[in-house]
């Protein structure tokens, strides 16, 4: 671990989180607006590559690695320091019949021996879990080949999601740095990237971006499952309804912040 950066979480935090996924088989469901919009982001990011070598940083329980392996004939890697999370990521690849290599390793250790290996680097919630995201971006920069592309996605914990998170999962706010799109773009430029686009994504609503697992201790297992089903149904119905009314992605209700950037040749 770099001496200038402190993680806001530890392995036990993630093991507890992923433990609830061990007995669930999850798939990408295109009925969710967020998944459709993220797939379009991946398409823009990978449009210039043929059979790219790519890696997901913080890949635990990844549903996107199997999708990218199959859709883009890519040589896929994933790295995460949670052993259980890596097992789930490998399981998802196997269930999809996709090929990929999952590495259970600390990002900083991995980056030191993997300079300029990848055409495409992406993360679906990573840099906001560190005290100094800038240091993490510099390590991500080192992984890319010159001319490579990076997609950075993180939860938008501003707008309506701040009060929801305070009630549903106060620890969620304590383990995330809130980084608006303009700050993310600025940090990427400072790390040497050329930023091609940035903003909010995921549609006009996704209540499931907040973690509701702490409520299991309050309302019980079945009550928690009912709550999650209600949240997911709301995401599907209202998310698609708002898209039909052309509600744009914006700070108040969109679930994710993102940036696409490239490493200069």
The number of distinct structural domains making up the chain is 1
Please determine, for residue 2, whether its predicted confidence score (pLDDT) is greater than 80. Answer: no
pLDDT digits (tens, 9 = 90+) for 7-43: 656 666 555 655 555 556 678 999 999 999 999 999 9
More confident residue, 9 or 90: 90
> Taking a C-beta distance cutoff of 8 angstroms, is the pair 254, 207 a contact?
no
Tell me, yes or no, whether 4 lies in a domain: no
Please determine, for residue 124, whether its predicted confidence score (pLDDT) is greater than 60. Answer: yes
The pLDDT value given to residue 18: 52
| Sheet bearing 75-80, strands edge to edge | 101-104, 75-80, 53-57, 118-124, 144-155, 256-262, 194-201
pTM score: 0.92
Residue 110 sits in a domain of what CATH number?
Answer: 3.40.50.150
Residue burial 222-240, b: 16+ Cβ < 10 Å; e: rest: eebeebbeebbeebbebbb
Per-residue pLDDT band for 255 (boundaries 50, 70, 90) equals: very high
| C-alpha span between 257 and 158 (Å, rounded) | 10
Tell me, yes or no, whether 37 lies in a domain: yes
Tokens 């997609």 belong to 151
Q: What is the average per-residue pLDDT within 56-72?
A: 94
Tell me, yes or no, whether 20 lies in a domain: yes
The pLDDT value given to residue 160: 95
The pLDDT value given to residue 224: 86
Tell me, yes or no, whether 248 lies in a domain: yes
Please determine, for residue 249, whether its predicted confidence score (pLDDT) is greater than 90. Answer: yes
The pLDDT value given to residue 20: 58
Average per-residue pLDDT in the chain?
90
The pLDDT value given to residue 10: 61
| C-alpha span between 221 and 70 (Å, rounded) | 35
Tell me, yes or no, whether 2 lies in a domain: no
> Taking a C-beta distance cutoff of 8 angstroms, is the pair 111, 57 a contact?
no
The pLDDT value given to residue 150: 98
The pLDDT value given to residue 3: 47
Q: Which of 106, 104, 111 is nearest to 137 (CA)?
A: 111
Q: What is the average per-residue pLDDT within 96-114?
A: 93
Q: Which residues pair with 79 in a beta bridge?
A: 57, 103
- Structural tokens at position 194: 């050329």
Contacts of 131 (CB under 8 A, 6+ apart): 5, 6, 7, 8, 177
Q: What Å distances lie between residue 133 and 8, 16, 64, 118, 189, CA to CA?
A: 11, 24, 23, 20, 13
| C-alpha span between 95 and 162 (Å, rounded) | 35
Domain hosting 80: range is 11-262
* Count of C-beta atoms within a 10 Å radius of residue 104: 19
Length of the chain: 265
The proportion of the chain whose per-residue pLDDT surpasses 90, expressed as a percent, equals: 73
Per-residue pLDDT band for 6 (boundaries 50, 70, 90) equals: confident
Least confident of 81-85, 102-106, 143-147: 81-85
Tell me, yes or no, whether 1 lies in a domain: no
Backbone φ and ψ for 154, nearest 5 degrees, come out as -150, 160
């Amino acid at each position: 671990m770099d001496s200038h950066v402190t993680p806001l979480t530890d392995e036990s935090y993630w093991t507890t989180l992923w433990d609830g996924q061990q007995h669930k088989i999850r798939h990408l469901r295109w009925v969710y607006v967020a998944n459709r919009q993220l797939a379009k982001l991946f398409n823009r990011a990978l449009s210039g590559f043929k059979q790219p070598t790519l890696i997901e940083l913080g890949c635990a329980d990844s549903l996107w690695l199997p999708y990218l392996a199959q859709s883009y004939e890519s040589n896929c890697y994933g790295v995460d320091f949670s052993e259980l999370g890596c097992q789930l990521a490998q399981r998802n690849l196997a269930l999809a019949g996709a090929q990929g290599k999952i590495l259970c390793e600390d990002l900083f250790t991995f980056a030191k021996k993997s300079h300029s290996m990848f055409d495409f680097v992406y993360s679906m919630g990573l840099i906001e879990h560190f005290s100094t995201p800038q240091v993490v971006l510099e390590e991500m920069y080192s992984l890319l080949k010159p001319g490579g592309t990076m997609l950075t996605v993180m939860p938008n914990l501003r707008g309506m999601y701040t009060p929801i998170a305070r009630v549903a999962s106060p620890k969620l706010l304590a383990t995330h740095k809130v980084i608006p799109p303009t700050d993310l773009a600025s940090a990427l430029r400072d790390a040497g990237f050329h930023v091609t686009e940035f903003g909010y994504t995921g549609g006009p609503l996704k209540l499931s971006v907040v973690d509701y697992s702490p409520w299991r201790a309050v309302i019980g297992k079945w009550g928690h499952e009912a709550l999650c089903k209600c949240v997911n149904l709301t995401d599907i119905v209202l998310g698609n309804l708002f898209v039909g009314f052309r509600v744009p992605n914006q700070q108040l209700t969109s679930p994710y912040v993102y940036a696409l950037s490239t490493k200069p040749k």
